[in-house]
Structure 1
Amino acid sequence: MIPRYAGPPLLGLNLRFLRDPIGMFCQARRDHGDLVELDLGVAGSLYAAFHPDGVRQVLLNGRRTHRQLLRELLGKGLFTSPSGEDWVRRRRLLTPLFRAERLASMTPLLLRPLDEALDRRWRPGARIDLAAELKKITVAMMVDATFGTAPDVDRAAARAALDFLLGYVDHQLFTLLTIPRSWPTPDNRRYRADIAALRRVIGDALTARRRRPSGQPTFLDGLLDNQGDFTDEELVDEILSIFVAGTETTGTALVWALHLLSLNPEPARRLRAEVADVLGADAPTGDRLRLLTWPRAALREALRLYPPAWALRRVVDEPLQIGEHTVPAGARLIVSSYVTHRHEGVWARPEQFDPGRWLVDQQRHRFAYFPFGAGAHQCVGNTFAQLEGDLVLTRVAQRFRLDPLPARRTGTKPAIALTPVPAPTPLLLPA
């Protein structure tokens, strides 16, 4: 019989799930093991699998579901689509955009807004709000990666709308009580105005690119090259998916990476030394980035400890065997990368930030590490996120050392991405 983690009658664990899902998952595994039935009261049961063997079964055999609210907010792109033929069709449209050689050619597009931000706002001797800064930087990088440098796009409007929408969606999804979106509150009015403005900017850019291709390896040009039977409205939905999936999660991962490097001087020193040896003060290019190992190792280790996509849900249509137990047909299941990435039966020193573990050959279970998901539904943009991470960590290492605020403990806030609270504010020192 599958161990059961029960809550109060009718309500079950719902309030705990909403207030502290990660704490609940950690306690469930600690008290009940690697497969647990979570009691959600009148809402039924949710089965959580924590060992990589169970994660494998869930992600390979489960059917992806979607949250209707996300589709209402963001349209019907890949990010919000459930499993099925339409998802496969959308995946085929996007996959060519994220091939490694194509992404490498995007490096100058991504470097321009990054350097602009570091030049304007980062100063030695100042404290920097990493969460606010990395959000601005990743939004700006995503806008330029999508639209390129052509002057016929209202980048300021796109950046402002995207910045607001990310926070609005976060609040709608992860707040216990929200004001109905039909009410004319200032935030609801701004949401409707900004989503319309962003869709208009994207639509206008599509029209302009169709008349005059940019000649740059942008996401917009790539979508038009592969449009096939997709309507322009569907392309707009896909760009919104790319915006949301590629900014909030990547930005948060980089906040954690820089924060952890500020707390761990030796890995930070080794990263700076490698960057100085390979690049000096030169701007990183796609080819030379591939010669670096420490920026990627640091990002991977940050994603292990604090994966932005901290939980994934699935549904099974047939009974599913997980270890010695059988989960019934129709069951809802969840896996938590946060818990699995810290599983002491899988990882040595699981709570320790150790980028060096990624620089030695080790045999790991395929499903011990899945910050971007795994199986058929692994995030199509994982290679883009890694490129952004390599660029940001490399460029920051060329120019700064980060000194943490003493005696300040950082916790986690599970939302669209696993956010650090309070936001780290390290002191910037010359490299």
Structure 2
Amino acid sequence: MLENTPPPMIQRLLADPRPIVLFGAGDVGVLAHHVLTRQGVPVTCFADGRASKQGTVLRGLPIHSITDLPQLADEALVFLCGNYLKTMTDRVRSAGFTRIQDCVELLDGFDFSGSEADTGMSPVLAERKAALHKHETLKDREHAEDTLILKYLDVVVTEACSMKCQDCSNLMQYYAKPRHSDLDLLASAVDRIMDSVDGIYEFRVLGGEPFVNPRVHRVIEQLVAYEVVEKVVVYTNGTIVPRGANLDCLRNEKVVVEITNYGQHSKKFDALQETLATEGITHLSKIPVWTDSGRIRYVERSAEVLDDMFHNCCVNDIVTLLNGKLYRCPFSANAHNLKAVPDAPQDVIDLTGDLSGAALREHIRALYSRDTHLTACGSCAGRDYRTPQIEAAIQTRRPLPLTVVG
């Protein structure tokens, strides 16, 4: 292929100038629009399931409800610009569209260097967003082929945080006596998980604040050593600049440090960015958008409503390892760890014992492919496009009161 010859998908789109709708007005939608327009392919409009987005404009194009575009249903190609592909596909099909496409071929291998001014995302973040979209599309295929590759695995290294946000969706505000994780138990659990799966796209090292744990380097050094792991992302709030071994372990091509910028609360943000840049450590920063999801409060709901919450939850594809136990989401992990929800053995894989090998593989597969709600969903306000946004990182002086169950 000549150097300036467009990729096959772009050639097909240029030769077939029917309307193009980008369903999903988030980061993947921005990247899809950037790729298409940079290569001369016009986009008709965005569509989105969030009422707050509908009627607004993104990148010069209107954002509609997909149900408001019946005139395009017979001919338009809809790109699914998000990671909840089954839910998105169902919505688009129910609106009468039949030409539906994910964004993998569009984004995979695209050179995002120099795109930051247009997309608002660094090339590192753009490539991660594209890779995560690709792995989500592979999930159903892997299940059918009996492979087991996890998209994300949260590895919690501490319950302690250098901030005390009253609305933390990982429930750190409820920990009155936070502890660091038992690293020997953690190492054993991770080893057994890795022996039981075929791969993991991204380990996510977090807490609390991971750099509060002076031995977090032990965990990171273990995680980067697995050949079938592509990325190890360390999530930090910009309050601590790691030193010594906790800094040295970040100099690895698999490691990305993601800094959440909480403004005045991220007191070491500039110093941390400067240190990481000086050391040549891959990093990115973001300003957070929070939803009202940080309370443990039981509400009586039907199974149908809870299942709908689960299907639309933005963290229902994150498996979380906390204190030797594996959970389907971080809210479930911390709510159970705090003993704030009833025991639910069907929601938890206990790795404090000897479970391993083929038996553990089937347990992980069952948990990861589960499509019905968790017990903890009954005490969660939900984390999806319908959940109201709130101000991030409002601080509380004391841990919030907690009702222990049982």
The answer, yes or no, to whether TM exceeds 0.5 is no
More helix as a share of residues: 1
Determine which structure has greater relative contact order: mean sequence separation of CA pairs < 8 Å that are 6+ residues apart, divided by chain length.
Answer: 1
Q: TM-score, normalised by structure 1?
A: 0.32
More strand as a share of residues: 2
Q: TM-score, normalised by structure 2?
A: 0.33
